[in-house]
């Protein structure tokens, strides 16, 4: 959502619970290392009507700083993408606030392509950042042939 840290702190636990428990096919996935949540990725429908049910939006992609560069995000993002495509999505879209080379590189290695940009998509603490839109169609991705994760971790919904 691009909230500042201070804005995140104003959100209630009930608000987080509602966000995490939206009905299927909306889903949030976590990658756990020895029981600890290390990485997350989520997919949601963008509307209630059938006219938008061919696409989902990816959000909540995050890896705990101490677990980065171990393949956890790739693993949990691929799991979320498979879930979206298995549940009828033809396309998964997302937005990256830039600069964010790690995220752009992650998504590009999975087959996402740029499909637009929103100038000044978010303003945090007085600085504004553009948002790059990226999209992956079910038949475009290389998600099933991408590299294996370098650590073993469990992915749970």
Ligand X SMILES: CC(C)(COP(=O)(O)OP(=O)(O)OC[C@H]1O[C@@H](n2cnc3c(N)ncnc32)[C@H](O)[C@@H]1OP(=O)(O)O)[C@@H](O)C(=O)NCCC(=O)NCCS
Interacting residues toward ligand X by CB under 6 A? 39, 61-63, 68-74, 96, 100-103, 105-106, 109, 147
CA distances from 110 to 14, 34, 130, 144 (A): 33, 26, 22, 9
Q: Which is nearer to ligand X, 17 or 69 (CB)?
A: 69
Q: Which is nearer to ligand X, 68 or 90 (CB)?
A: 68
Using CA atoms, how far apart are residues 77 and 84, in angstroms rounded to an integer?
Answer: 11
Q: Which is nearer to ligand X, 103 or 143 (CB)?
A: 103
Pairing of strands 127-137, 154-156: unpaired
Q: Which is nearer to ligand X, 92 or 96 (CB)?
A: 96
Phi (first) and psi of residue 156, to 5 degrees: -125, 150
Using CA atoms, how far apart are residues 97 and 119, in angstroms rounded to an integer?
Answer: 10
Q: Smallest distance from the beta carbon of 75 to ligand X, in angstroms?
A: 7
By Cβ distance, which residue is nearest to ligand X? Answer: 73
Using CA atoms, how far apart are residues 78 and 72, in angstroms rounded to an integer?
Answer: 10
């Amino acid at each position: 959502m691009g909230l500042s840290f201070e804005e995140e702190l104003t959100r209630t636990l009930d608000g987080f619970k509602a966000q995490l428990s939206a009905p299927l096919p909306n889903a949030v996935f976590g990658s756990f290392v020895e029981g600890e949540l290390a990485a997350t990725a989520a997919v949601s429908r963008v509307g209630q009507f059938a006219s938008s049910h061919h696409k989902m939006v990816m959000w909540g992609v995050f890896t705990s700083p101490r677990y980065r560069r171990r393949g956890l995000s790739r693993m949990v993002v691929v799991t979320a993408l498979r879930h979206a495509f298995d549940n009828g999505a033809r396309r998964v879209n997302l937005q990256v606030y830039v600069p964010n080379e790690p995220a752009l590189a992650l998504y590009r290695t999975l087959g996402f392509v740029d499909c637009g940009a929103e100038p000044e998509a978010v303003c945090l603490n007085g600085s504004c950042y553009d948002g790059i839109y990226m999209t992956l169609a079910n038949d475009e991705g290389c998600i099933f042939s991408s590299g294996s994760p370098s650590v073993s971790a469990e992915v749970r919904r």
